[in-house]
Amino acid sequence: MQGNVFQKGTLLIPTGGSQHLHIVMNDPLHCPVHGHVVVLLVNISTVYPEKYSDQTCILAPGSHPFILNDSWIVYRQAVVSRVSGIEDGILARTIHPRLPISSPDFDRVRQGFDASQDVPIKIKRFLRTYGL
């Protein structure tokens, strides 16, 4: 039985004073560097014309039920997270699982990790190390 944390899954997580949708970029894996079972998460945020937004990957309204406006992938805030911490947040009801992202949109988001200038070096290394 599949849990709440899996590749293409989405999670509503409190970030910066509001709830942001995050995409789970891989199935859980053990990372010796972190010493835990981890996943890579990337945040989605609404595009505001007066604020910076990485244009590498824009998701249109309706591409996911939670996305109501043009939204950008915040590659600069991608993070490797412990699955146990995510599961604890789900149990505490501070993190909320949502419907998975479609395969075509997931593929666009993943390709953006290779194209965006905003991806932190440690995230590029994680992707390369685990063949993601």
Q: Is residue 4 part of a domain?
A: no
Domain count along the chain: 1
What's the domain range around 65? 10-129
Q: Is residue 1 part of a domain?
A: no
Cβ-count burial of 9 within 10 angstroms (0-12 exposed, 13-18 middle, 19+ buried)? buried
pLDDT score, position 69: 96
Q: Is residue 68 part of a domain?
A: yes
- pTM equals 0.94
132 residues of the chain, pLDDT tens digit each: 368 899 999 999 998 888 999 999 999 999 988 789 999 999 999 999 999 999 999 999 999 999 999 999 999 999 999 999 999 999 999 999 999 999 999 999 999 999 999 999 999 999 999 998
Q: What is the CATH number of the domain that holds 73?
A: 2.30.30
* CA gap 14, 30 in Å, rounded: 25
pLDDT score, position 111: 98
The residues near 51 (Cβ < 8 Å, ≥ 6 apart) are none
Q: Are 43 and 16 in contact (CB under 8 A)?
A: no
* CA gap 46, 3 in Å, rounded: 28
Q: Is residue 100 part of a domain?
A: yes
